[in-house]
Amino acid sequence: MTVRITAPRKGQPSPRARWTDPNTGRRETKTFNASEYSAADIDAWVEKKNLELEASKRSNIAATNGELISAHVEPYLASKILRTSTEAIYRSSLLRFCAWGASNGCVKTGQITREKLISFRTFLLVQQRLEPSTANKVKRNVVSLLLYLYEQSLLSSCSREDIRFGMRRAKEKKTSKPLVDPQALIESFKCQPFEIQAFVYVLLLTGMRFGELFHLKKRNCVNLDRMRIELDASDTKTNSARVVWLEESPSVVAVLGEVMKSSSGASDNDKIWPLTKHQLDSAKSKVVRGGFPRFTWQALRRTCGSYLTCAPGIYGAASAFNSSKRLGHSVLIAERLYVGAVRGIPFEAKTLELAMGIATKPEVI
């Protein structure tokens, strides 16, 4: 909602300003007589008029912003393509913000200001004593809602700069995240059923996200003979389709082939794993109780990425780029987390199985 200037032309010898009145919605015009207005005068008039229009717009929004912030949570979540588990995390963060706002005079969109956002940031870090990493996750989810409201022209007292400053990230402690010992991991899961052994083996050797592998469907594996797992945009966290090539871990083809036999009658959209998350988490807990160091499923992905990046015989000089492409994240992550994480991998190791020192024909088959 800004003033536009049309240059003089045939039939209209003087510059003309055009704008839309925010109160009436009508198109307005003003003609500048060359004998009365210089170019500098016109620029000054336009700048002043734009300020008036912006003030009027904010005033109108403030007068009609009776909508509750909480009323926009579900429409916002519905506008995003999220997995059920991810949506639950977003909803938890947004409801935390709404609950804080109810106690701090910030229940309507027009009440969101830079000062309020700074106060919420302080609330997370000081009063609730959240770890910086946890607070940053909450703020990231809230920021996405705020930008959604901003794009809907509902934030009358808050700009993008206010959002950026008020919800700036807290400084996190940079600690190295542990990897798992591939040989010890596979050995520890030998007492588990075949499907669980196979799942852990494939997760370690492909570096896929837990959710990507857990929800893997038959249609994703139709080209195993071509050494590839094909993930559609709807299958990935980043909503970007990608191919997980298996030349780097050829034994995965045989393992998935055995798993596919048990789902031979399933449709292309059925999951290939006859497992629940509870079964997998229970198996992981049993392994930890048996003496294996505590770990997360994400640690298997980091381990795969580290070996892919650090093994000189797999990708050579393009290791950071190719490992990032296979795992589905940016090269920056590979450079920050994977480079130099594993030492002493022989150049002759051309596959992950050899680089990790595990059997090329796993016992799970």
Question: Both 214 and 330 in a single domain?
Answer: yes
Question: Both 82 and 112 in a single domain?
Answer: yes
Task: Provide the residue range defining the domain that includes 131.
Answer: 69-166
Question: Do residues 200 and 300 touch, judged by C-beta distance below 8 A?
Answer: yes
Copy the structure tokens of residue 364: 């799970």
pLDDT reading at 365 higher than 80? no
Last residue of a domain, one of 45, 64, 83: 64
Question: Both 226 and 294 in a single domain?
Answer: yes
Please provide residue 281's backbone torsions phi and psi, each rounded to the nearest 5 degrees. Answer: -65, -35
Question: Is the residue at 327 inside a domain?
Answer: yes
Separation between Cα atoms, residue 180 and residue 182, nearest integer Å? 6
Question: Both 321 and 192 in a single domain?
Answer: yes
Last residue of a domain, one of 107, 132, 166: 166
**CATH number for the domain including 214?**
1.10.443.10
Question: Is the residue at 212 inside a domain?
Answer: yes
Question: Both 207 and 306 in a single domain?
Answer: yes
Among 178, 177, 176, 183, smallest CA distance to 355 is for 183
Question: Is the residue at 175 inside a domain?
Answer: no
Question: Is the residue at 362 inside a domain?
Answer: no
Kindly give, in sequence order, each residue whose CB lies less than 8 Å from that of residue 268, ignoring residues fewer than 6 positions away.
217, 218, 219, 222
Among 179, 187, 189, 180, smallest CA distance to 282 is for 189
**pLDDT tens digits, one per residue of 225-272:** 889 999 998 888 888 899 999 999 999 999 999 898 877 666 778 889
Mean pLDDT of all residues in 177-197: 93
Q: What is the pLDDT of residue 115?
A: 94
Last residue of a domain, one of 166, 190, 213: 166
Question: Is the residue at 46 inside a domain?
Answer: yes
Question: Is the residue at 176 inside a domain?
Answer: no
Question: Both 136 and 14 in a single domain?
Answer: no
Overall pTM > 0.85: no
Question: Both 215 and 274 in a single domain?
Answer: yes
Mean pLDDT, the chain, rounded, equals 88
Question: Is the residue at 83 inside a domain?
Answer: yes
Question: Do residues 117 and 169 touch, judged by C-beta distance below 8 A?
Answer: no
Question: Both 151 and 263 in a single domain?
Answer: no
% of the chain exceeding 90 in pLDDT: 60
Q: What is the pLDDT of residue 41?
A: 84
Number of domains in the chain: 3
Separation between Cα atoms, residue 316 and residue 74, nearest integer Å? 47
Question: Both 160 and 202 in a single domain?
Answer: no
Question: Both 124 and 217 in a single domain?
Answer: no
Identify residue 11 by its one-letter amino acid code.
Answer: G
Question: Both 267 and 208 in a single domain?
Answer: yes
Question: Both 137 and 220 in a single domain?
Answer: no
